[in-house]
Structure formats: C-alpha cells, structure tokens
Amino acid sequence: MSAESTIFLGTGRRKTATARVRLQSGTGKIVINDRELEKYFTTDAFVRGAMAPLLTVELRDKVDVSANVTGGGITGQAGAVAHGIARALQKMNAELRIPLKKAGHITRDPREKERKKAGQPGARKRFQFSKR
C-alpha cells in the first residue's frame, strides 16, 4: 500500500486528446503508450513540448512518467501529456504550482476545432463571390 502513495496521477487534455499521466520518483524515464518518449513523439519540438513542465521545475532526471494518450493528433497529444504532467507535479508538491502556473502549464488550452457550417466549404471559408 505504501508504493501506491508515491504515485501521483494527472489528467491532461488538449484539443480532442486526453492523457492519463502517472508520476513517481525515479531516474527520468518517460514512457507514453508503452513506448519511449523519443520513439512516440518523433520530432524534437513535440518532445520538448511534452517535457516542458519537468524542465520548468528542474525535475527531468528525478521522476519517472508513464502516460496513456488517446484521441487527437500528435500536436494535441503532446499538449495533453504536458498538461497531465503539470497537474501530477502539482499534486506531488503544492509549492510547484507557482512556477508551473507562471509558465502557463496548469491552464488548459481551450482552443478546439470549429465546426463546419452548412453552405460553406469549411468553418470560416466561403465560396467565391461573383457579382455577375
């Protein structure tokens, strides 16, 4: 039962992606959907984005992260993992809330895809206007 108390959970969301993150003290191993971070997020920008909360509070090599991500695309999933890590870090140590909040990791990004409107080719785009 004591091993369970050292695991901190956080749920992160971005666009239509949802990440369930488990955080525990360790050596800095990050696993997403049973794959290593660099193998799951192939580009460096997504890796940096997902690790951003850990780098902000300088705990990159002190905690192990395990995440299950569903839905959305690669950009949304990277943002969801970062949001989940930030929320789990906040549960682990309440004093980390101030630097995480200041860096913008706690706030959920509310931007969603706008729906397509009837009589238009997209959400905002209109068919070409012809006066004659």
- Tens-digit pLDDT profile for residues 85-108: 999 999 999 999 999 999 999 999
The 10s digit of each residue's pLDDT in 42-54 is: 999 999 999 999 9
Work out the pLDDT band at 1, boundaries 50, 70, 90.
very low
Structurally, what CATH architecture does the domain formed by 4-103 represent? 2-Layer Sandwich (3.30)
Report which of 56, 67, 107, 111 is spatially closest to residue 83, judged by C-alpha positions. 107
CA distances from 76 to 17, 25, 86, 103 (A): 6, 26, 15, 18
Domain ranges of the chain: 4-103
How far is 37 from 41, CA to CA, in rounded Å? 6
Residues paired with residue 32 on neighbouring β-strands, in sequence order: 35, 67
Contact 69, 33 (CB under 8 A): yes
Q: Phi/psi of residue 103, each to 5°? A: -80, -10
What's the rounded Cα separation, in Å, for the pair 89 and 115? Answer: 34
Q: 3-state class of 83 per DSSP?
A: helix
Within 8 A by CB and 6+ apart from 110, the residues are: none
Of residues 83, 71, 74, the one with CA closest to residue 110: 83
pLDDT at 102: 95
pTM of the full structure: 0.89
